[in-house]
Chains A and B, each alone.
Chain A
């Protein structure tokens, strides 16, 4: 009989951070089990979590370093791979300076990996060009809430949903994307909590909600401002809280005056519904606001976050259990990657790179000179590459060809790179473009910490040996540092990285592996003042310069590309419960892969009828940027005029179509709305994958 062990870990998918045990039989992950004592997941997992054993199966894993050669990839030794990378980096830095290279780290890698990545960029390569995929999910959250509250993270804890009297979910589909937390919301609703959903799509929670405000895509600010207008007009605002803890109320009140009258025309939501939502949210003793990428992925993303902050602050729904402004984070460690300073403008713990004192402290601690100006964002790096000023990129744990906006643009940029290094588990679409591919260890094959969306830092343990020559990300990052002549990254183990990081990161300063092992982790800030961590932020003062929250007037901005006569439908993006990100892990499950066709377009029955489309028919979808083919899923979950696509499928990647018009503050692309035309494919023609379409186009 086999050896059988059960190792405590953290689910590798979304930002909820469910406890998961890895059941290992003879060096193979046989199955997983939920942790019944876990404070968030309480014995539960979603379909993705349950399928984890398939996700890291070794069948198609990359197990040795690979170097691109004219005839294809060649397996090489680690020494040769690292030497090739370092020669490339040195050449570019010699010719064009350190800002011609950069790193895109991974929101699925550990805190330790991310700390190592930004330290490699800053202390060894001497550039602040470091970013990660939060750029395209919650960078507006970090930027927006930093301005208003002083801290860009979920203010409350996941289980606060059971303490709330009202839950407002806006631009988020938690039962599909954060399913265990979405389930908690359902449970709270069944136990009597009121539920309001604001979303262009009729989500599962919208169907259960007391109120569903089905607004037009991209009109969040107009709707929130209308609620604020109504709240202030009806005197439902919390004057005492505003007087004691906020500033800027008069300007805000002035700016939203009249918003209600204009709202229905812009948002498509009836005044009466807005009135009801405004009353419920403001008058419930404890109202908890949760939001997702339906707020952030617009050209008005940062202002959308600020609008939500205005709403919560005006009603005094911040700083207490069961309230707060709560962004739902998409990756298991996107919070951690942000916390670790894998952002071009901040060191670990959101300490600004252009702050003299901060700069001095990190220069001293790392005993080296550091760049004084902010670096490029990930999209800045791709743009810089097209322009020829950015030439070398190290990227890991992110398939940007499938998940970043405007696929053709991303592909062209990466192909144009003089040196592209990709560390991955499997041969993703991005890895296929690399000059050097490094075999990475999966979460089950290393130890480290992940920080979930409620700021909970949790330790997880190695369950399996990495396949072949794969190693943890921080280990190959250290090898590159050594190749560049630096011992800055020479740590003995992940614990040593954590200790160095915690000493430099005030919000993590009270944490150690030993303390994190007890009670399933600690929530930041965890320091001398809060040795047991912090369940609720901003209880007594805000993290701003003067301790007061800022109310900042913001105004409706139209989406960049509305539907028109050539592209008569609006396309939005969504995610499925069954798949995660680019699908590189979840699509290895035979069950999840069976569940949906490889690419879907959700379309309203009215639109389908008008276009002569029947269920599962092949359809062509065209925008100003690209064309793809997929299958129609007819549903009134989307309203007439709106179609929606998940982005999990490499065969039919929605980023062929999406717009890369950006939020001016954070460069967040407008992934949630662009204009498309849809046509039925001829009878009997199955949808062609994007690869085939590109080949056919190149051949014609």
Chain B
């Protein structure tokens, strides 16, 4: 991995803006950060918290048309984005994108966007509130396999730029940068290790996952937490690895129907309800259980080589029912 010195990430940002539409986290007056294109004057730092809405929406759209039918022909409506860079993505979200890349490997809509995208990761050098990426092997340092370029903020405020692959090499062509010192990668590892040490004790998370695997909790546990699930769908919307969608037909006019897909949520009772009204997950507790089994189940590890959870902690923050990941694992760990 080639490494360069970078005094100011905005140099890279400006360079990339010549080749890509650059998306970056922008913070509004109300305090919310979100992914927006062509952002001016936003600084980037290694201690920035990931935004509440992850970058998955840039590839897997909340609502999009799949195809239309005019009475004679079906026409696919593939997106045609210009090349874009996502600048400053955290390790948790990059890990999730790598996971989504597998899930949507054969999805032309996702891939049409994904192949146009350059991913510029950023190493986290301090833990964020609710984050536990080290526990699920998703950070705080960006994995070379998940990004094209990686930014690392050094203690003195200067930066290193790591080039992960050919796409990264092409992206920085024409940018005049000094090679970093030979010890750079080693120093980076130390900084990431030191960040890992600063994360809160994850004993209850590990215990909770084990209880889940060994099914040591009583059935009543799921009834109790199911009662707390309002089916708001917030966890699945914000979860960077959730990828379920539904489809519907929309009548545009007398001659044209569009088929749209939209983000779905497995916490809705109707998610798995069959036409006969039979529902294998009728009880809210069954649905909550399924959600957590999908995030931490061993079956997922077999398919995707990792848990379905990337440790971002967004579900904890957004769950009105107090059954986000920390709350649920603390309760599960009592059965360890």
Contacts and interface: CB of A to CB of B under 8 A. Distances in A.
A6 B52 CA distance: 13
A21 B62 CA distance: 15
Interface in B298-331: 317-322
A22 to B, nearest CB: 11
B26 interface: yes
Contacts of B63: 30-31, 53
Interface stretch (A138-146, A177-185, A338-346, A540-548): A177-185
B262 interface: yes
Contacts of A591: 233, 246, 262, 264-265, 268, 270
B230 A179 contact: yes
Contact of A186 (B36, B228, B246): B228
| Residue among B61, B228, B319 with most chain A CB within 10 A | B228
Interface string B234-272: 100100000000101010000000000010110011100
Contact of A47 (B30, B227, B233): B233
B18 interface: no
A45 interface: yes
A46 B320 contact: yes
A1 B232 contact: no
Contacts of B321: 183, 186
Contacts of B319: 44, 183
Interface string A1-17: 10111111000000000
B35 interface: yes
B198 interface: no
Given A45-B232, A47-B233, A208-B227, A34 B52 contact: yes
A30 B57 CA distance: 10
A563 interface: no
B183 interface: no
A37 B30 contact: yes
A187 B317 contact: no
A59 interface: yes
Contact of A21 (B23, B32, B317, B318): B32
Given A21-B30, A35-B30, A46 B277 contact: no
B40 to A, nearest CB: 13
Contact of A180 (B57, B228, B250, B320): B320
A595 B269 contact: yes
Interface in A13-34: 19, 21, 23, 30-31, 33-34
A36 B34 contact: no
Interface in A578-624: 578, 590-591, 594-595, 615-616
A33 B52 contact: yes
Given A21-B30, A30-B62, A187-B322, A4 B35 contact: yes
A161 to B, nearest CB: 12
B36 A595 contact: no
Contacts of B53: 23, 31, 33
A183 B81 contact: no
Contacts of A23: 34, 53
Contacts of A42: 317
Contacts of B52: 33-34, 36, 43
| Residue among A47, A182, A595 with most chain B CB within 10 A | A47
Nearest to A590: B248
Given A53-B63, A590-B248, A591-B265, A6 B32 contact: yes
Contacts of B289: none
A43 B317 contact: yes
A97 B323 CA distance: 60
B230 A595 contact: no
Interface residues of A, number: 51
A207 B226 CA distance: 12
A607 B36 CA distance: 56
Given A33-B52, A590-B246, A6 B28 contact: yes
Interface in B45-88: 52-53, 57, 61-63, 81-82, 84
Contacts of B234: 34, 44-45, 50
A21 B52 CA distance: 11
A517 B61 CA distance: 31
Contacts of B29: 8, 517
A455 B247 CA distance: 40
A186 B323 CA distance: 11
Contact of B32 (A36, A44, A46, A615): A36
Given A30-B63, A204-B227, A43 B34 contact: no
Interface in B154-213: none
B197 to A, nearest CB: 26
A4 B321 CA distance: 31
Interface in B64-116: 81-82, 84
B258 to A, nearest CB: 11
A207 B284 CA distance: 14
A50 B265 CA distance: 11
Interface of A: 1, 3-8, 19, 21, 23, 30-31, 33-38, 42-47, 49-50, 53, 59, 175-176, 179-180, 182-184, 186-187, 190, 204, 207-208, 517, 520, 577-578, 590-591, 594-595, 615-616
Q: Which 4 A-B pairs have the closest CB atoms?
A: A183-B320, A37-B31, A8-B30, A6-B34
Given A6-B26, A594-B268, 12 more contacts: A1-B84, A19-B30, A21-B34, A33-B53, A34-B234, A46-B232, A183-B322, A187-B322, A190-B322, A577-B232, A591-B264, A591-B265
Interface of B: 21, 23, 26, 28-32, 34-37, 52-53, 57, 61-63, 81-82, 84, 227-228, 230-234, 237, 246, 248, 250, 262, 264-265, 268-270, 277, 317-322
17 contacts: A7-B28, A8-B28, A8-B32, A21-B28, A23-B53, A30-B63, A34-B318, A35-B30, A35-B32, A37-B31, A38-B30, A43-B317, A179-B230, A578-B231, A591-B265, A591-B268, A595-B269
